[in-house]
Structure formats: C-alpha cells, structure tokens
Amino acid sequence: MDGFSYSDIFATKGLEYLVIIAFLILLIPFTVLLSRQARINKQIQKTLGILTARILKIPQGLFYSRNHTWLFMEKNGVANVGLDDLLLHITGGVKLGNLKQPGEMISKGDLLTTIEQNGKLLNIFSPISGKVVTTNPHMQENPSSLNEDPYGTGWIYKVKPSNWVAEIKSCYFAGEATTWQEKELLRFKDFLAYTMKNNSPAASQIILQDGGEICDNTLSALPDETWKDFQKEFLNLYKL
C-alpha cells in the first residue's frame, strides 16, 4: 500500500490532548468551588454582621418615605406603617416609645414614635396624615419582630389615611426604592467617616478594611452625639 502512511495522533499530539482534557476535568470542580465560595462568603458577611446592600430587605410593593418609614395600603383602605430594614440594620435592636393611641389624628411630619437603645433616642416622624386605627399588639410580646420581620409582623401602626394620593407622591416605590436605599447606604458610609472623625475617633475600627464595608448595627457602638447627627441628616427631612 504505497503512498499510505499511518500517524499515531497520540504519539504526536497525545500529550497535548491529555493536558487539555485534564484541564477541562479540573475546571469543572474549580468553577463549582468558586460558586460555592461566593455563597459561603455571602453567608459569612451575614454572620460577621457586615452591612451591604445585598442583605437589605426591600419588598417592591411598598412605599418608602425619605425618613425611613414604609407604607402599605390594605384592601380595606387602612395603611400599615413601619420602619424600613436599612434603618433597623443601622441602629440594631431598639425599643419603641411615645406610641400614639387608637383614635388619635396625626399629620404628615408629626412625631410618630421614638426608638430607643441604651438611653440613645431617635424621633420618627409620620410619613402620612390620618387616624390611628391601632398599634401592633404583638410588639410588646415580641419586640424582636421589629428587626426580624419589619415588613410583616413588625409593623407599628395601622392608619386610615386622609390624604393618601397626594402624600405618597414623595415616596419611593419598586425599583426606585431599591436604588434610593443603595444610595442611602453610601450616604451613611460618608456620614460615618465624617461623624467618627468629629465625635468618636476611637471607633474607626467600625469601618472594615475590606472595601470600606461597615459593621451591621453601627449606631449601637457610637455615642449619643452621633445619634443626634444621624437624626438631623436622615430622619428630620419632614421637619426642615
């Protein structure tokens, strides 16, 4: 069989093929490992208490006011009112005070409640006008629900609105709310950098080295002066 030659590909390219096959075999578990590590890192962030936009709960069917309260209109025309998840991550566990009584009338910008932690206070102003129907009866029995389930069992008031359509125009909704809260978190980081320099230089360890991320429940470790500054910068918007 003149003119016919036999080439053994494994004799010529065999080593290269084996290297490529081995690489592909190794690439699959490596990719799976990276994906798993990303999930683990996210879980570690939660465990270590690093506050990032990824851990915030922002239900898309609620209205969010600029002073970090939220509103949800029920089918019966009564609005649930509570504190948003970002504010509660910033403060940590708090107690409610100065609660309104059923039947009381409130106007947008009135004092709605106070939140307290170890003698440090923040005033929460109402995002809506109307009549208080009830306060959350379970809040006294299970105050932790405020932090654990702020948009569910952690609601604070049910209010019969008197000017709903006009007043929710200043609120954020759906994707706009998500974007706004992400910006608020960035603004809070800038606020911390400034306020710690002036009020609590020794607390600089609250800003973590890894990308400048901040600890969860940051305000709980900071002095009363910082709480007062936070009040002015983030919660007094209806009082300006």
pLDDT value of residue 14: 60
- Does 14 reside within a domain? yes
Which CATH number characterizes residue 105's domain?
2.40.50.100
Looking at the structure, do residues 39 and 149 belong to the same domain, yes or no?
Answer: no
- Does 1 reside within a domain? no
- Does 237 reside within a domain? yes
pLDDT value of residue 173: 96
Question: What is the Cα–Cα distance from 37 to 175, expressed in whole angstroms?
Answer: 29
The residue among 140 and 229 whose pLDDT is bigger is: 229
- Does 2 reside within a domain? no
Model confidence at 129: pLDDT above 90? yes
Neighbour order of strands in the sheet with 63-64: 105-106, 130-135, 157-161, 79-83, 69-73, 63-64, 172-173
- Evaluate whether 219 touches 199 at the Cβ level (below 8 Å): no
Looking at the structure, do residues 187 and 125 belong to the same domain, yes or no?
Answer: yes
Question: What is the Cα–Cα distance from 222 to 11, expressed in whole angstroms?
Answer: 71
34: containing domain? 9-48
Question: What is the Cα–Cα distance from 112 to 42, expressed in whole angstroms?
Answer: 35
pLDDT value of residue 4: 52
Number of domains in the chain: 2
The residue among 49 and 36 whose pLDDT is bigger is: 49
Model confidence at 70: pLDDT above 50? yes
Looking at the structure, do residues 214 and 153 belong to the same domain, yes or no?
Answer: yes
pLDDT tens for residues 191-235?
988 876 666 555 555 554 455 678 888 898 889 999 999 999 999
Looking at the structure, do residues 26 and 93 belong to the same domain, yes or no?
Answer: no
